[in-house]
């Protein structure tokens, strides 16, 4: 009789184990059906070259509305005023860009100019506003000033009536960020109570490699205030850890990190503040991806988590920092590795990345955004020094094989 019940227990155990494995496999299935490359605005032949395009869905709008911030680029890290554009038909047509008040340039007493760049907008449902956050930047004599002065996050708020607030500085009184603390190009997380988790990179002086932490902040629709600071992640190579991006998927938080050690890095957290030691991005067989100081970002579907990134490949060995093509692959959340068999090209390399690399436009300043239950967009502005910085404004349209339950129906 004992043997019988032991056998029954083992049978039940293995059934539960197999069910659990099957459930994980189902939850982690690859749900990308197709990806198409689309041109939002042609810029290779001249005119305004738009850069830093980043989008967010305004979920409270009477019709499906996606708002994008973007700004002109005229040279290496040399940008014009921040603008906004929007679409109500899923990105088939975008409105003409309009300058956001207060996000242009101002001339300082020493003759330099101060502007804002690297802006990321995100809808805040609890206050029915869009919080657009970037950081300040200094220019002199028609180019990026070197060295830069002190830098910090700068944000504006788009109210429900479509008007914009004056720019504000995110105040963080911590000596570790004396020279720079910023959340630029970074994806943030809005918690159910309206609080924000904002990843920042920071350093006390120019010689110090930057660290990364997350800030728990309150936001009342007007002002962002720091409430709590998470633990510190470090990397001593080059400038350290840069441009962190954050996502919440099911019960976990995940952070991806730009670095200067030929790797990108990833970490996870239970609460979005206390982070495990970061590890380099690798394929599911353990082989590390070779990256070169370039950002990565997240794209989440209810049934899968994806990373968007650039890396060294056979087709781009001579392209600067291997910044084309732009790839997307599914994340194995158990191991924090990329599933090699799921990798796809989100935006292809145009040209010859081996024999004519200077005629290849770079990706690397892009932004993923789920826009409906059926589709997501990855917006990207071509960085094209070989064409006098004239490049196209692009988007990759991703169509899912099954509806994304994370996307709530639009208001009617």
Give, for all 412 residues of the chain, the pLDDT tens digit.
Answer: 434 343 443 443 344 333 333 334 444 799 999 999 999 999 999 999 999 999 999 998 888 899 999 999 999 999 999 999 999 999 999 999 999 999 999 999 999 999 999 999 999 999 999 999 999 999 999 999 999 999 999 999 999 999 999 999 999 999 999 999 999 999 999 999 999 999 999 999 999 999 999 999 999 999 999 999 999 999 999 999 999 999 999 999 999 999 999 999 999 999 999 999 999 999 999 999 999 999 999 999 999 999 999 999 999 999 999 999 999 999 999 999 999 999 999 999 999 999 999 999 999 899 999 999 999 999 999 999 999 999 999 999 999 999 999 997 544 3
Rounded-to-10 torsion of CA 304, 246, 156, 127? 60
The reported pLDDT for the residue numbered 34 is 98
Start-to-end C-alpha separation, the chain: 63
Looking at residue 63, what is its pLDDT? 86
Report the C-alpha gap between 279 and 300 in whole angstroms: 20
Q: Specify the 3-state DSSP secondary structure of 141.
A: coil
CA distances from 137 to 42, 134, 149, 308 (A): 27, 10, 8, 26
Nearest C-alpha neighbor of 203 from the set 230, 233, 163: 233
- What is the three-class DSSP state of 118? strand
220 contact partners, CB below 8 Å, separation of at least 6: 127
CA–CA separation, 296 vs 256, rounded Å? 7
Give the pLDDT confidence score for residue 310 in this predicted structure. 98
3-state SS class at 370: strand
Note the pLDDT of residue 7: 43
* 162-166, long-range: CB < 8 A, 24+ apart: 164/100, 164/101, 164/102, 165/222, 166/101, 166/102
Which pLDDT score, from 0 to 100, does residue 409 have?
A: 52
Sequence-separated (6 or more) residues with CB below 8 Å from residue 308: 296, 297, 298, 299, 326, 327, 328, 346, 366, 368, 378
Burial of 273 (0-12, 13-18, 19+ CB in 10 A): middle
Tokens of 292: 């070169």
Class of 32-400 in CATH: mainly beta
Instruction: Quickly tell me which residue has 């554009």 as its tokens.
Output: 85
């Amino acid at each position: 009789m004992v043997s019988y019940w032991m056998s029954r227990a083992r049978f039940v155990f293995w059934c539960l184990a197999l069910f659990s494995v099957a459930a994980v496999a189902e939850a982690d299935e690859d749900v990308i059906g197709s990806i198409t490359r689309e041109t939002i605005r042609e810029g290779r032949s001249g005119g305004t070259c738009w850069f830093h395009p980043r989008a967010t869905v305004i979920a409270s709008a009477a019709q499906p509305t996606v708002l994008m911030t973007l700004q002109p680029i005229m040279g290496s890290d040399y940008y014009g005023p921040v603008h906004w554009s929007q679409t109500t038909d899923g990105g088939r047509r975008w409105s003409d860009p309009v300058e956001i008040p207060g996000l242009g340039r101002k001339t300082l007493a020493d003759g330099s100019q101060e502007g804002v760049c690297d802006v990321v907008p995100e809808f805040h449902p609890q206050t029915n506003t869009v919080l657009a956050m970037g950081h300040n930047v200094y220019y002199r004599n028609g180019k990026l000033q070197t060295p830069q002065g002190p830098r910090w996050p700068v944000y504006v708020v788009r109210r429900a009536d479509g008007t914009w607030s004056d720019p504000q500085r995110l105040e963080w009184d911590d000596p570790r960020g004396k020279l720079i603390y910023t959340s630029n190009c970074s994806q943030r997380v809005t918690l159910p109570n309206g609080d924000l988790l904002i990843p920042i990179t920071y350093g006390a002086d120019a010689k110090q490699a930057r660290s990364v932490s997350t800030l728990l902040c309150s936001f009342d629709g007007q002002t962002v205030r720091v409430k709590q600071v998470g633990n510190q992640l470090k990397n001593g190579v080059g400038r350290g850890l840069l441009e962190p991006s954050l996502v919440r998927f099911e019960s976990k938080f995940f952070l991806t990190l730009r670095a200067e050690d030929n790797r990108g890095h990833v970490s996870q957290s239970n609460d979005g503040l206390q982070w495990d030691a970061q590890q380099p991005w690798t394929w599911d067989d353990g082989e590390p991806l070779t990256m070169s100081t370039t950002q990565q970002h997240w794209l989440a579907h209810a049934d899968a988590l994806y990373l968007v990134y650039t890396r060294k490949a056979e087709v781009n060995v001579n392209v600067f920092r291997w910044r084309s093509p732009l790839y997307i692959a599914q994340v194995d959340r158990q191991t924090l590795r990329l599933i090699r068999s799921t990798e796809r090209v989100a935006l292809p390399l145009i040209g010859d990345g081996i024999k004519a690399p200077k005629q290849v436009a770079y990706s690397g300043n892009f932004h993923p955004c789920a826009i409906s239950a059926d589709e997501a967009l990855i917006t990207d502005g071509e960085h094209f020094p070989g064409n006098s910085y004239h490049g196209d404004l692009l988007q990759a349209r991703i169509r899912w094989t099954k509806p994304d339950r994370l996307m709530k129906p639009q208001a009617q």
